[in-house]
Structure 1
Amino acid sequence: MSSSKTVLLVIGSGLKLYREYLVRSAAARARRAGHQLVLINNLQPTWQHEYFDEITVVNVFDHELLATTAREIAARHTVVGVLCWDEPLVMPAAELAAEFGVPGLSIPGVHGCRDKYSARTRLTEGGLLQPGFAMTADLAEARAAAERIGYPVVVKPRALGASMGVVLARDEQELVDAFQVASDASLVGDEPYRGGAIVEEYAVGPEISVDGALHKGEYLPMFVARKRTGEHPYFEEIGHVVDAADPLLDDPVLLDTLARAHRVLGIEDGITHAEVRLTDRGPLIIEINGRVGGDLIPFLGKTATGIDPGEVMVDVALGQRPDIVRDRRGVAGIRFGYPEHDCLVRSVTVPTDAPGLVTASPMVEPGTTLRLPPGGYIARHSFVVCQADDPQTCEERLVEASALVRVDAEEVAPKPRGAVLEMPAGLLDVDE
């Protein structure tokens, strides 16, 4: 029998470096609403104790075990909402929300977020601008698809985040390597989506991301991040800038495209992170993720606009329409430090003082091996976050602060072709 306690169930806390600021705000919001926060986590908690009223440790990547554990908690307490911001766990979290009868992305919605092929198919059928694409099981199918679509093409796994395994192929020779990289990368993802790769038309134009809230299907944009990528022909994200006064927040075509895309996918309640290319044909949805943005983008959004994504997450999980009001008019940006080659890190030192510096941190411990694509991804040794009154000054401050980062590292040989992909540090909850 359930107790009189009402709880918000959180599936995975994420890493302290990336997610503590969200947890802090979510916990405060939940308690103001009279609810406790209960966590199901992958490894033994440390910093999480300050924010959660109850913590259960299980292998959250065993979805059956996760569901059983969640049901045991629901038998003891009244679950009034489910929260999740870790990409590999958004699907079981949405399934649990549906089972418990609380607001969530919806089952069709989470499949549209998690399965890139399903999303492409449904958005195309819904009349939204989309690239030519095909799901391919082997290299022969990939060659045929690329020939039909036309080079250059992007080759990607069906269901991974953080641009892992995503490669640009300009011709048939590059396609051979790109297909192998994408297919190999898919093997670390969810079992139903392993093997093969999506081949799709390369959309030309600047890339942005938009974090927005959904309340009963109504799309509420919060902030836009302008993205900077590197490590060509891969798509490593090396920085983002959020401007509270970004004109795209008032662009009717972009906002209509985002609202239509969420309706087509059937996303109902939650927060999403939509990635969009601004092409000469109009905004093109690259993908919609069923969670807040990574890379500290929500922190940038809060710093620049005053909107607190942790509070918004709790509101939508409880079925309440969030108050999305930008009460600040600033600019905030992040720049990640990458090595020039695969390396063994001995030490990382970041600046403590620089113009506009908000925070900076090493991202790896001494003794960590960083591997660039295709042997590894998100090979970041540090980040700096700066704020300013305008985007140009913010970019200049990011460059200046990044130049103050000091890295002592030893070059190591790249992994051989076909070696097992190393999951990047910081992608999953590995705090101990």
Structure 2
Amino acid sequence: MTAAEGVVLVIGCGMQPYREYLLASAAGRHPLWMFNAAELSWQRGYVRGGTVVDVLDRDAVIAAARELAEQRPVLGVLTWDEALITVAAHTAHALGLPGPGIDAIEGCRDKYHSREVLTAAGVAQPKFEFVRDEAHAVAAAERIGYPVVVKPRGLGASIGVVRAADAAAVRDAFNAAEAVSLIGAVAYQGGALVEEYLDGPEISVDGAVVDGRYRALFVAHKTVGMDPYFEELGHAVDGGDDLLGDRELLDTLAAAHTAIDFRYGMTHAELKLTARGPVIVEINGRLGGDLIPLLGRYATGIEPGAVAVDVALGVEPWIRPAGARRCVGVRFAYPPEDCVVDSVTLPAVDPARGVLAAVALVKPGDRMQLPPAEFISRYAYVIGEGSDPRQCAAALDAAQAQIRLTARALTLTAASGG
């Protein structure tokens, strides 16, 4: 490749255990250039080059992108980092490249704005109100009806999302959601959304949008726990999932993307399958987290990183036909209490027994705290497969039972933040 052939700009990357497979997949489709907040390390083997820049500084990223474009053609822009989707959208717009559109990405990033837009368009939504203090949160919950869900305005991965069944719980949930909102973008700090609690299974659908046309790629079935929180304990993708042909679901997804005027990009839509039909929980303007695109690759044969590159280039994605039906899932291991890690022992990777991966996410000496002190406090994950959801669940059960954590209880003092 010569410099004249151009690159696709990847803004940020994420943690290696969660995102390396996407970078490898993307690199197999087209030469990449990465903007990162620190010098590249493990990413170097997948990219043509890199630029160190404050990836949260929109103006700095756009300036760096224009400088890069003077050296070699920049043909597309993408990110799979939730915190960077707005920066990426503005960068694509500034360079005149395919992107979701500035208004569309706000329709993903700002959950309050998203609710307003989707409701106005007639897309099924829970009842909701945005509030700025405890008293208004309680009043909103009483109007909506208990139980309610209280969540931050601009975070993902169910961080700070709490179910509340009475006024006292709403006050606690509001304070937890508002506090955790402070780790996110300044534009979405403070206040919280109070929403109707939706009964029914929760799914997510990763999809590609080219010139406003939405295409669903794979469906993940979510397992949550740690009530009243919504920690995501696992996901499973069935390559033969009947939901991929469900007209009501697909129409709802297409209508939601049209409503926010999403033009080019990858999305991760979360929905509840309720008695009144599928209801959009949120639309995220990037590929799913929690290794869901990896499960999708195993289960369907679709290369999500490569599809993301195609879409960033503004072309219809090339999708390899699926082979034999597979169901592939991931389970995350959480500690039973706040602790300091001594060691993690993992099961052997054994595809013959349906165990495709087993990875530790912590090292000796790491501190772990459960919600509401911390969210996504996981010490390991396993990926398992089967010919159908039942066999997949059995493989995951067996693998998860073999994970061992040795740890000491964490005792916090006022001086250490406890």
TM-score, L = length of structure 2: 0.96
Other structure's SS at 1:4 match? helix
The worse-fitting range, judged by mean Cα deviation, of 43-52 and 252-261 is 43-52
Q: CA deviation at 1:326?
A: 4.1
CA separation in 2, counterparts of 1:193 and 1:391?
A: 38
CA separation in 1, counterparts of 2:95 and 2:184?
A: 26
1:29 equivalent in alignment to 2:24 = no
Summarize the alignment of residues 7-156 of structure 1 with structure 2, pairs less than 5 Å apart: 7-30=7-30, 36-156=31-151
Summarize the alignment of residues 140-289 of structure 1 with structure 2, pairs less than 5 Å apart: 140-289=135-284
Aligned residues: 412
Q: Is the 8 A contact 2:151 2:192 kept in 1?
A: yes
1:375 equivalent in alignment to 2:370 = no
1:411 equivalent in alignment to 2:409 = yes
Summarize the alignment of residues 323-342 of structure 1 with structure 2, pairs less than 5 Å apart: 323-328=318-323, 329-342=325-338
Other structure's SS at 1:29 match? coil
Matched to 2:167, the amino acid is E
Summarize the alignment of residues 299-338 of structure 1 with structure 2, pairs less than 5 Å apart: 299-328=294-323, 329-338=325-334
Matched to 1:394, the amino acid is C
When the two chains are superposed, the root-mean-square deviation of aligned CA atoms in Å is 1.5
Q: CA deviation at 1:353?
A: 3.9
Q: Is the 8 A contact 1:271 1:290 kept in 2?
A: yes
| CA offsets 1:372-424 (integer angstroms, 9 cap, x no match) | 111001010000001110100100110100011111111114688xx69xxxx
Q: CA deviation at 1:109?
A: 1.1
CA separation in 2, counterparts of 1:186 and 1:326?
A: 41
CA separation in 1, counterparts of 2:236 and 2:28?
A: 27
Q: Is the 8 A contact 1:371 1:414 kept in 2?
A: no
CA separation in 2, counterparts of 1:324 and 1:115?
A: 31
Q: Is the 8 A contact 2:181 2:189 kept in 1?
A: yes
Matched to 1:137, the amino acid is R
Other structure's SS at 1:94 match? helix
TM-score, L = length of structure 1: 0.93
Question: Match of 1:6?
Answer: 6
**What residue ranges of structure 1 are gaps of 5+ in the alignment?**
31-35, 421-432
Q: Is the 8 A contact 2:349 2:358 kept in 1?
A: no
CA separation in 2, counterparts of 1:188 and 1:18?
A: 20
The worse-fitting range, judged by mean Cα deviation, of 68-77 and 162-171 is 68-77
CA separation in 2, counterparts of 1:157 and 1:227?
A: 20
CA separation in 2, counterparts of 1:214 and 1:367?
A: 43
Q: CA deviation at 1:6?
A: 1.2
Q: Is the 8 A contact 2:62 2:94 kept in 1?
A: no
**Alpha carbons of structure 1 residues 25 and 339: separation in structure 2 relative to 1, 3 Å:** same
Other structure's SS at 1:66 match? helix
Q: Is the 8 A contact 2:58 2:90 kept in 1?
A: no
Question: Match of 1:424?
Answer: none
Q: CA deviation at 1:99?
A: 1.1
Q: CA deviation at 1:18?
A: 1.0
CA separation in 2, counterparts of 1:126 and 1:260?
A: 8
Other structure's SS at 1:59 match? coil
| CA offsets 1:319-353 (integer angstroms, 9 cap, x no match) | 11113454122110000000111111111111114
1:292 equivalent in alignment to 2:287 = yes
Percent of residue pairs bearing the same amino acid type: 50
The worse-fitting range, judged by mean Cα deviation, of 366-375 and 407-416 is 407-416
Q: CA deviation at 1:4?
A: 2.6
CA separation in 2, counterparts of 1:6 and 1:203?
A: 46
CA separation in 1, counterparts of 2:259 and 2:366?
A: 43
